[in-house]
Amino acid sequence: ANRAYALFKSGLLDSAASVGRSALERFQALNDTLAVMQASSTLAAVATTQNDLTTAITLQNRVIQLGTELGFPSLVAANAFNKANVEKSMKHFPEALAGYEMAWRLADSCGMLDLAMIAKGARAILWNDMDTTSLLRTNSMELMRDSSLAVLSRAIADMQGLGALQWEANFTLTKAE
């Protein structure tokens, strides 16, 4: 799984997918659930990058389920956040909102404060991207109207404290819109 992740980070997506699938098969045969979750997370990242979003969601759901059952909140939080990003790109707004909420709460509860702050702010970006009908369907219209600017302002300040320039820029651009 580590080799597949290194290949993924190097931009060698086909190699990462091949190595990741082989690792996943080995880990499943060994009943090594933690390694299965790690390999699945890497394969989900590869699938997302390759725009195979259905596969990415399937893999992320698997990690979320196993991680919840076995008590790995950090893996669940990270995969919930990544799944929310995929759902958002597919315009599955209720699922994206639920994923960001899950990631925010779990990350906060297990000490992943950077992810908690990012996931909390990502909700406001989602609200900004949603059309009126989607906001009404998810009961987010008042929440968006009443708190998105405050959430974004807080998220910008949090990212400045972390030195997370990319997320600071994302939140600043959304606030400007």
pTM for the predicted model, two decimal places: 0.80
30 pLDDT band, cuts 50/70/90, is very high
DSSP characters for 40-70? HHHHHHHHHHTT-HHHHHHHHHHHHHHHHHH
SS3 content of the chain, % helix, strand, coil (to 5): 85, 0, 15
**pLDDT tens, residue by residue, 77-135:** 999 999 999 999 999 988 999 999 999 999 999 999 999 999 988 888 887 776 666 66
Single-letter amino acid code for the residue at 97: L
Average pLDDT over residues 42-56: 95
Answer yes or no: is pLDDT of 147 > 90: no
140 pLDDT band, cuts 50/70/90, is low
> Are the CB atoms for 37 and 25 separated by under 8 Å?
no
DSSP characters for 66-91? HHHHHT-HHHHHHHHHHHHHHHHHTT
> Are the CB atoms for 144 and 116 separated by under 8 Å?
no
